[in-house]
Amino acid sequence: MSSSCVINRLAISITAHAWNGDRTLLACCPNDNTILIYSYKNNEFTLQHTLREHDSVVTCLAWAVKTNRILSASQDRNAYVWRWENNEWKPTLVILRLNRAATRCAWSPQEDKFAVASGAKLVAVCYFEKEYDWWVSKHIKDHQSTVFDISWHPNNVLIATASSDAHVRVISAFVKGVDSKDAIKNDAFGTKLPFGTLCKEIHSGGWVHAAKWSPTGTRLAWVSHNSSVHVLECATSSHVHHTLKLEYLPFMDLVWTSPNLFVAAGYDSFPCLFSVSESGIKNHGSVDTKMASGGSSGGASGTMMSAWQKRDRLGSATADQDLGLNSHHQNCISVIQPFEGSDTQLKSFSTSGLDGAIAIWNVDAIKKAIPGIPAS
């Protein structure tokens, strides 16, 4: 991939996307009750399957790369686990017991559990009950408002949650009979963590849209609606909290590209790169090289009357000439996913958003275009 970004427009709008293990298949939701499965080869997408089981807009997807199972959740308050059998995707209903829409879902690192966040002020942690051959759920109810995001710690036990009650929380999702007690030995949040234990709670000054653990689990990063990014140092029990306030519009999601670097994106329609050190968080700016060529410029309007008419109708005298943003994405970026590389050294990542586009960003090309990035 020679360019820093390859972009394809697949729908009018995309609410979520997820990749299979070898990145040859993409699942995405075109802002309705369907799930579209595309094959991906040579930077081109070909529609293979359309999954129809949900009754309302599918809000989130997660693809278990080891077991090749797709997890979907929706505004209909239900979740399905899709399995590839006999050349078709077959759904298994998960009884979440939610009374509000699901907002985000995620498989645990070992893929023996998954979690679904919701507008019901709770997170449903689900695991497979072999005796009854179905997925059952347990609820975490520490939140005071909608839970926007969830992230699994590499130890397969802890989860981080991002909520519109302006808090980030670290909570135990230990399930007896599924998890091993050895997974939480020497943990910076304690060693006795029964299900639902609230390990950490931090106020962030605004809605928290997304939270993600670093690949090693020693840092937790999150983004808030007050245009700030945060990192919590979790290697020891001291839990140092770094905050950086920005002039950007709020970010909606983020992904770690290495233990010291992460990318965040949101309403400004371009991803930004950040590095983390003992001294705090550093902003390296936009990774969208298209913006480096400069924005579109509109000439003066014909007459003073027409200029005032445009200001009244469009809010700007040149608004009718600004037909597109000077970025690859043309609307808010809502989801970022890893694409290529290991957990500790990501080579590329993908973004999707309200413009219906899927973009794949090359991390090496980004590093070459942005000077001063510290070694990972």
Q: What is the pLDDT of residues 329-339, one digit of tens each?
A: 999 999 999 99
More reliable by pLDDT, 322 or 32: 32
- Apex CA 250: angle with CA 60 and CA 153, to 5°? 50
| Averaged pLDDT, 1-19 | 88
Beta-carbon-side half-sphere exposure of residue 1 (alpha carbons within 13 Å): 21
- Apex CA 202: angle with CA 200 and CA 203, to 5°? 155
Is the pLDDT score of 96 beyond 90? Answer: yes
Q: Which residues contact 76 (CB under 8 A, 6 or more apart)?
A: 33, 54, 55, 56, 101
Q: For residue 183, what pLDDT is reported?
A: 83
Is the pLDDT score of 30 beyond 50? Answer: yes
Is the pLDDT score of 297 beyond 80? Answer: no
Q: For residue 310, what pLDDT is reported?
A: 54
- The architecture that CATH gives domain 5-369 is 7 Propeller (2.130)
Q: What share of the chain is helix, strand, coil (3-state, %, to 5)?
A: 10, 50, 45
| Averaged pLDDT, 56-61 | 98
More reliable by pLDDT, 292 or 261: 261
| Averaged pLDDT, 342-352 | 95
Of 203, 213, 28, nearest to 115 by C-alpha is 213
pLDDT tens digit sequence for 139-184: 999 999 999 999 999 999 999 999 999 999 999 999 999 998 888 8
Is the pLDDT score of 302 beyond 80? Answer: no
Least confident segment among 184-198, 225-239, 301-315: 301-315
Q: For residue 343, what pLDDT is reported?
A: 87
Express as a percent the part of the chain with pLDDT over 70: 90
Local confidence band at 299 (pLDDT 50, 70, 90 cut-offs): very low
Local confidence band at 293 (pLDDT 50, 70, 90 cut-offs): low
Using CA atoms, how far apart are residues 376 and 341, in angstroms rounded to an integer?
14
Residue ranges per domain, the chain?
5-369
Is the pLDDT score of 51 beyond 70? Answer: yes
Using CA atoms, how far apart are residues 201 and 19, in angstroms rounded to an integer?
31
In this structure, are residues 213 and 199 in contact, taking their beta carbons and an 8 Å threshold?
no
Local confidence band at 129 (pLDDT 50, 70, 90 cut-offs): confident
Is the pLDDT score of 200 beyond 70? Answer: yes
Local confidence band at 130 (pLDDT 50, 70, 90 cut-offs): confident
Q: For residue 308, what pLDDT is reported?
A: 57
Is the pLDDT score of 195 beyond 90? Answer: yes
Q: For residue 317, what pLDDT is reported?
A: 54
